Chain A
């Protein structure tokens, strides 16, 4: 158990809908990362927050948004969902927000299916 909690584990919804994925980081970790993993593809970095502030942005679509709250949990909002958004969404957390030795600990993921 990495200590990173993601809910829900599974989510099935229809095209055009909006969903919210939730992540609670490990105790003491200030940084949260969101990744998308589509079938047979490597993890794609979406966005990073550090202590409530956006730190880095990756390949995140305009239909997607995220935030980190004062208690350090984070939410990823996906709207106007399309079939191609079906994927595993992972949250990771780390103590620091940068540095070559900074270890990211991953949650178990949320599997999103858009029908």
Chain B
């Protein structure tokens, strides 16, 4: 059964601090992993996309890593800002139609 587990479920950090979000997945077939940011009541926005052969991908202050052997991924946020407060969703995918499996997300709150 396809599963995506994200940790922690929620996190509170102070503005300017760094944080790392974790994702463990069991998805087959697998060919790529995405991280999305979803503000409350809004649609998800793509942050990074990695194929199974890529180990890391950066997008500004966001850096994602992927270990396809252990089926783990992480999202590191550097120098957090108040606008980073959102849910961060790990999304592995694969197969002929690239079916995406969405995790339930880590809810991040950045406080001043």
Query: Which residues of A pack against B, CB within 8 Å?
Result: 2, 4, 35, 40-45, 48, 55-56, 58, 88, 90, 92, 97-109, 111
Contact = CB atoms under 8 A, between A and B. Distances in A.
B93 A100 contact: yes
Dominant secondary structure of chain B at its interface with chain A = loop
Contacts of A105: 46
A55 B102 contact: no
26 contacts: A2-B43, A4-B43, A35-B102, A41-B104, A42-B89, A42-B101, A42-B102, A43-B89, A44-B102, A45-B100, A45-B102, A58-B99, A97-B97, A99-B98, A100-B31, A100-B32, A100-B49, A100-B51, A100-B52, A100-B93, A100-B94, A100-B98, A101-B32, A104-B46, A108-B43, A109-B41
Nearest to A58: B99
Given A42-B105, A43-B44, A101 B97 contact: no
Given A100-B94, A106-B44, A109-B42, 19 more contacts: A2-B43, A2-B45, A4-B43, A40-B104, A41-B104, A42-B4, A42-B103, A42-B104, A43-B89, A45-B102, A48-B97, A55-B97, A90-B43, A90-B44, A100-B32, A100-B93, A102-B98, A105-B46, A106-B45
A7 B105 CA distance: 25
A56 B105 contact: no
Interface residues of B, number: 25
Contacts of A40: 104
